[in-house]
Protein backbone atom coordinates (compact mmCIF):
# COMPACT_ATOMS: atom_id res chain seq x y z
CA UNK A 1 0.00 0.00 0.00
CA UNK A 2 1.31 3.44 -0.94
CA UNK A 3 -0.42 6.36 0.83
CA UNK A 4 1.03 8.75 -1.73
CA UNK A 5 -1.03 7.27 -4.57
CA UNK A 6 -4.33 8.96 -5.36
CA UNK A 7 -7.18 8.77 -7.84
CA UNK A 8 -8.29 11.98 -9.55
CA UNK A 9 -11.77 11.77 -11.04
CA UNK A 10 -12.99 14.40 -13.50
CA UNK A 11 -16.60 14.69 -14.64
CA UNK A 12 -17.10 16.95 -17.67
CA UNK A 13 -19.50 17.73 -20.50
CA UNK A 14 -19.02 15.39 -23.49
CA UNK A 15 -18.04 18.34 -25.69
CA UNK A 16 -14.82 18.63 -23.65
CA UNK A 17 -13.78 14.98 -24.03
CA UNK A 18 -11.14 15.50 -26.73
CA UNK A 19 -9.78 18.67 -25.11
CA UNK A 20 -9.35 16.89 -21.76
CA UNK A 21 -7.76 13.84 -23.40
CA UNK A 22 -5.28 16.11 -25.18
CA UNK A 23 -4.62 18.05 -21.97
CA UNK A 24 -4.01 14.90 -19.91
CA UNK A 25 -1.72 13.43 -22.57
CA UNK A 26 0.27 16.66 -22.72
CA UNK A 27 0.39 17.49 -19.00
CA UNK A 28 -0.11 14.14 -17.26
CA UNK A 29 3.62 13.39 -17.04
CA UNK A 30 3.07 9.75 -17.96
CA UNK A 31 0.11 9.15 -15.66
CA UNK A 32 -2.29 6.67 -17.21
CA UNK A 33 -5.98 7.40 -17.28
CA UNK A 34 -9.28 5.89 -18.32
CA UNK A 35 -12.42 7.54 -19.63
CA UNK A 36 -16.03 6.50 -19.88
CA UNK A 37 -19.44 7.93 -20.62
CA UNK A 38 -21.59 8.40 -17.52
CA UNK A 39 -24.82 10.06 -16.45
CA UNK A 40 -24.67 12.82 -13.86
CA UNK A 41 -27.50 13.38 -11.40
CA UNK A 42 -28.00 16.45 -9.20
CA UNK A 43 -30.69 18.46 -7.51
CA UNK A 44 -28.92 21.62 -8.74
CA UNK A 45 -30.37 22.39 -12.16
CA UNK A 46 -28.20 25.38 -13.13
CA UNK A 47 -26.32 23.51 -15.87
CA UNK A 48 -29.18 21.26 -16.99
CA UNK A 49 -31.21 21.72 -20.15
CA UNK A 50 -34.98 21.37 -19.93
CA UNK A 51 -34.76 17.82 -21.37
CA UNK A 52 -32.10 16.92 -18.79
CA UNK A 53 -34.25 18.31 -15.99
CA UNK A 54 -37.17 16.16 -17.15
CA UNK A 55 -35.07 13.00 -17.52
CA UNK A 56 -33.19 13.62 -14.27
CA UNK A 57 -29.79 12.99 -15.82
CA UNK A 58 -27.06 14.76 -17.71
CA UNK A 59 -24.61 13.05 -20.03
CA UNK A 60 -21.04 13.45 -18.85
CA UNK A 61 -17.65 11.97 -19.61
CA UNK A 62 -15.61 10.78 -16.63
CA UNK A 63 -11.84 10.47 -16.43
CA UNK A 64 -9.93 8.55 -13.77
CA UNK A 65 -6.25 9.38 -13.31
CA UNK A 66 -3.99 7.32 -11.01
CA UNK A 67 -0.89 9.22 -9.90
CA UNK A 68 1.07 10.45 -6.90
CA UNK A 69 -0.40 13.15 -4.69
CA UNK A 70 2.00 15.90 -5.82
CA UNK A 71 1.35 15.09 -9.47
CA UNK A 72 -2.42 15.17 -8.88
CA UNK A 73 -2.11 18.61 -7.24
CA UNK A 74 -0.02 19.90 -10.16
CA UNK A 75 -2.61 18.58 -12.64
CA UNK A 76 -5.44 20.26 -10.71
CA UNK A 77 -3.58 23.57 -10.75
CA UNK A 78 -3.01 23.24 -14.50
CA UNK A 79 -6.60 22.24 -15.21
CA UNK A 80 -7.82 25.19 -13.15
CA UNK A 81 -5.51 27.51 -15.11
CA UNK A 82 -6.37 26.14 -18.56
CA UNK A 83 -10.02 25.04 -18.27
CA UNK A 84 -11.64 27.34 -15.68
CA UNK A 85 -15.35 27.85 -16.34
CA UNK A 86 -15.68 24.57 -18.25
CA UNK A 87 -18.17 22.86 -15.89
CA UNK A 88 -15.63 20.24 -14.82
CA UNK A 89 -16.34 18.65 -11.43
CA UNK A 90 -13.53 16.73 -9.72
CA UNK A 91 -12.72 14.73 -6.63
CA UNK A 92 -9.57 13.08 -5.31
CA UNK A 93 -9.49 9.87 -3.29
CA UNK A 94 -6.60 7.93 -1.75
CA UNK A 95 -5.80 4.58 -3.34
CA UNK A 96 -5.63 1.75 -0.86
CA UNK A 97 -4.30 -0.80 -3.32
CA UNK A 98 -3.56 -1.02 -7.05
CA UNK A 99 -1.70 -3.33 -9.39
CA UNK A 100 -1.87 -5.51 -12.48
CA UNK A 101 -3.18 -9.05 -12.66
CA UNK A 102 -0.73 -10.88 -14.91
CA UNK A 103 -0.72 -14.49 -16.04
Domain CATH code at residue 35: 3.30.70.120
Residue at 71 is within a domain: yes
Q: Give the percent of the chain with pLDDT over 90.
A: 58
**Domains of the chain: total:** 1
Residue at 62 is within a domain: yes
pTM of the entire structure?
A: 0.82
- How many Å apart are CA 26 and CA 21, to the nearest integer? 9
Q: Beginning with the edge strand found earlier in the chain, give each strand of the sheet holding 5-12 in spatial order.
A: 33-40, 58-68, 5-12, 89-94
Residue at 38 is within a domain: yes
> Whats the size of the chain, residue-wise?
103
Read off the pLDDT of residues 45-69 as tens digits, 9 standing for 90 and up.
566 555 555 556 678 999 999 999 9
* Structural domain boundaries enclosing 59: 5-94
DSSP code of 11? E
Vertex 33: Cα angle to 30 and 34 (nearest 5): 160
Amino acid sequence: MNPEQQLLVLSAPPALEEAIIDWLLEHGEGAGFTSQNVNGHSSCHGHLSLAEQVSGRQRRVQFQVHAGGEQIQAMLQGLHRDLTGSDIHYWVAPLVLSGNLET
